[in-house]
Structure 1
Amino acid sequence: MRKILVPTDFSENALNALDYALELFKYDICEFYIMHAYQDDIYADKVLMKSKTIDELTRVISDKSQLQLEGILKHVSKVSPNSRHTYHVVSSNNMLIDEADKIVDEECIDIIVMGTRGKTNDRKLTFGSHTLQVLKYVQCPVLAIPENYKHIQPRRILFPTNYMIPYKRRELKLLCDMASPYRAVIDMLYISKSKKLSLRQQNHQDFINEALCKNKINFKIVDNKNITNAIYTYIKENDINMLVMVNTRHSFLENILFQSTIDEISLYIEIPFLVLQNMRRN
């Protein structure tokens, strides 16, 4: 049984991410938790705040949230009638991060699927603020889906790594199980001037090879000083349709996610991006 959390703000981007998840995991027995955390919405409507008390406004927002979630369930039953899938809707007067964290812990969620951007849809940013918060602070694999991305079947997956960190078997199994129904090829990309691996790196590579045994794996080495450009170039030149990275301390990905100005992110991701979390909670 795979458990999948899909946060939504009822935007087209969020709905597209849900549709992607329904199709990607169509062969799996899954429980979907479709969640809307509406605490921010209560204070966002300045007009209603002037005419209603907080309690009245909360009831209005809560009712609207529940109604929209029921609408999503109708959409799901229409576009993806799958007997392997069951659904739960969660409407919560809470912040997105807090509610996501709570559901991940209580339900042992395997993966979070969401759009790279939500309602604001600022095209200058790789990730919207909500997606960025989940990538940073919720300890669970996250699959971020770009706006209007429709190519569901992952045929070629890129996994950049320096082989310096121990990987979690459960998360590699998740990747293996996602890729194997589509016979996807996984390219492990090591960006380095040296073509030799240390004993530690070799051990980690062997572990990856064993954990992803259902899949065809290519072990690649690229000499490039700029890691971002190396990844971007590889994606373009090899028709990659999913990017996988690990979020760990002092990693390239952590440097991206924790930049003070998000606008500086130079890796504009146009394909689904799976972030495996290898970080302990504070």
Structure 2
Amino acid sequence: MKQILVPTDFSENAWNALQYGLDLFHNTKCTFYLLHVNPVTGYSGTGSTIQKTSLTLKENLLNTSMGELRTWMDRIEKLPVNTKHMFFPLIHFNYFIDTVKSEVQHKKIDLIIMGTKGATGLKKATIGSNTGDVITRVRCPLLAVPEDVEYTRPKEIVFPTDYQLGYDLKVLDSLIEMINMNKAVLRILHISKKGEELSQEQRENKDFLQEYLLDVDHSFHSLTGSKLETAVQCFTESRDVDMISMVAKNLNFFQKILFRPAVEEISYHTKVPFLVLHE
């Protein structure tokens, strides 16, 4: 049974991410935890009147959230029945990242699914600050689902890498699971500067990938370009890639793609789900 956490702000964007997850794991037994976190404000008063007001506010927020979650559960009941899926609502009044970390640990979460927003930068709006924080601060695989994207079976998954770091077997096994579940093809993509050759360490890491992925339908690709994000965009669009996957361990490489400030430089992944893997 796969344990999946779906944080929600009750937006249609969050609902779209949930539906994508339901379709992606249509044939897999899953427990979906629908999590809404009412954020704690930075101010805390000491007077009894202020404390009473604060408690009343908290109670009102939790009641409102419970009503919203009931609406979500009603919408889920109207979907085509899938006996492989179970749903549990979770409501908290706490700090968002602390709550996600706690639920990941206590529920033994295998995957977090969140929606992306808009078309600026991941840290700003494309994925939302909450999702950006989860990617960098919570050690759990995360699937970022673009706004308004309709589910299609991932037939090609691109895996950008610089071969600088070795990969944990657990990470590769998670990637292989996604590939096998969808009968997909893995495209391993290396972007280099003109005339740049692989070092001995990079060649060894590439050879390791080749050996470990022996039973997986895959291919290696190399592009020359000065801008990493532009090269990934070109490759993604030219091959009609259905999903991008990366390892969060390689954070510097990772940030070059995700945390770009300009709209035109990162617009490609507003259309393609992004699977972030953690060790």
Same-fold status (TM-score > 0.5): yes
Distance 1:109 1:92 in 2: 17
The answer to whether residue 61 in structure 2 is matched with residue 65 in structure 1 is no
Distance 1:136 1:257 in 2: 11
Please, what is the CA RMSD of the aligned residues? 2.6
The letter of the residue matching 2:78 is: K
Contact (CA 8 Å) 2:120, 2:266: kept in 1 or not? no
Contact (CA 8 Å) 2:10, 2:68: kept in 1 or not? yes
Q: Residues 226-257 of structure 1, C-alpha deviation per residue, up to 9 Å, x if partnerless?
A: 11111011111111111112223552213455
Cα 1:191–1:111 change in 2 (3 A) is same
Distance 2:10 2:218 in 1: 37
Contact (CA 8 Å) 1:5, 1:112: kept in 2 or not? yes
* Partner SS state of residue 267, structure 1: helix
Instruction: Specify the alignment match of 1:201 in structure 2.
Output: 202
Shift of 1:80: 4.5
Shift of 1:79: 1.7
Cα 1:13–1:94 change in 2 (3 A) is same
Map residues 171-190 of structure 1 onto 2, 5 A cutoff.
Answer: 171-190=171-190
In structure 2, list runs of 5 or more residues that go unmatched. 44-49
Contact (CA 8 Å) 2:229, 2:256: kept in 1 or not? no
Shift of 1:198: 4.2
The letter of the residue matching 1:124 is: T
Using the TM superposition, name which of 89-98 and 65-74 deviates more: 65-74
Cα 1:27–1:195 change in 2 (3 A) is farther
The answer to whether residue 32 in structure 2 is matched with residue 32 in structure 1 is yes
* Partner SS state of residue 147, structure 1: coil
Shift of 1:196: 5.7
Cα 1:217–1:146 change in 2 (3 A) is same
The answer to whether residue 252 in structure 2 is matched with residue 251 in structure 1 is yes
The letter of the residue matching 1:111 is: L
Using the TM superposition, name which of 95-104 and 72-81 deviates more: 72-81
Shift of 1:143: 0.7
Distance 2:210 2:130 in 1: 34
Distance 2:257 2:153 in 1: 27
* Partner SS state of residue 251, structure 1: helix
Q: Percent identity?
A: 35
Instruction: Specify the alignment match of 1:124 in structure 2.
Output: 120
The answer to whether residue 224 in structure 2 is matched with residue 223 in structure 1 is yes
Distance 1:208 1:65 in 2: 45
Instruction: Specify the alignment match of 1:133 in structure 2.
Output: 133
Paired residue total: 265
Shift of 1:225: 1.8
Shift of 1:224: 1.3
The answer to whether residue 77 in structure 2 is matched with residue 77 in structure 1 is yes
Map residues 14-163 of structure 1 onto 2, 5 A cutoff.
Answer: 14-39=14-39, 53-117=53-117, 122-125=118-121, 126-163=126-163
Cα 1:22–1:211 change in 2 (3 A) is farther
In structure 1, list runs of 5 or more residues that go unmatched. 44-49
Cα 1:250–1:32 change in 2 (3 A) is closer
Distance 1:264 1:21 in 2: 27
Contact (CA 8 Å) 1:42, 1:57: kept in 2 or not? no
Q: Residues 143-199 of structure 1, C-alpha deviation per residue, up to 9 Å, x if partnerless?
A: 101111003310111111012212222222222222223221110001124686444
Cα 1:174–1:100 change in 2 (3 A) is same
Distance 2:93 2:64 in 1: 12
Instruction: Specify the alignment match of 2:4 in structure 1.
Output: 4
Cα 1:76–1:42 change in 2 (3 A) is farther
Shift of 1:68: 1.6
Distance 1:4 1:254 in 2: 25
Shift of 1:55: 1.1
Instruction: Specify the alignment match of 1:237 in structure 2.
Output: 238
Contact (CA 8 Å) 1:173, 1:212: kept in 2 or not? no
